[in-house]
A and B are shown apart, each in its own frame.
Chain A
């Protein structure tokens, strides 16, 4: 069965510091990978996606992510965090021929002054 692991339940980062959120997936095929962000009481907003090609993808709000096949990872990064980035972040994976996505359990980002 497919699975997605986000090892960090909570992360606290100082405003202006860099950020990396981890995501690992299981399964052998080439995945389609997504990062979403959720503010409290809201739906999920797509930050970025990877389907194929360049393994470093750029998204909205200054985020980027890198697909590393050898590590089955798709980590999300941002060089300088803003207080407005505080939210919960979800990694999701899909595979060709499958209609559904599998989501990780999320990482809550807290931004300290």
Chain B
């Protein structure tokens, strides 16, 4: 079955450490997205990519980085510059503009 796989489901970060969240899709979608979800805040866009080797900053990109070397993969790195990284992170993909986004099951990141 086609879908989006996020791993790990739970992740813990120590102070000063970078961590990478994985997102893989086998839907053959061109566009991929990363969102951060905090209670009562809805979904806030971190980064998105419409094509391989290209990506754009969303509303809250500071302290995060991404890469898009393959169509099916869009990993997110939470750097030590992100001072409040505790949140639920959602990855999504879409066939293109103006199309619905399909979501993974999320990764919950916590600080040790």
Contacts and interface: CB of A to CB of B under 8 A. Distances in A.
Interface of A: 9, 32, 34, 36, 41-46, 49, 51, 90, 94, 96-101, 103-106
A98 B98 CA distance: 7
Interface of B: 4, 6, 31, 33, 35, 40-43, 45, 48, 50, 56, 58, 90, 92, 97-98, 100-106, 108
Contacts, number: 54
Contact of A43 (B42, B56, B98, B106): B106
Contacts of A45: 103
A49 to B, nearest CB: 5
Task: Determine chain A's interface SS by DSSP, over half rule.
Answer: loop
Nearest to B40: A105
Nearest to A102: B45
Given A44-B90, A99-B50, A105-B40, A32 B98 contact: yes
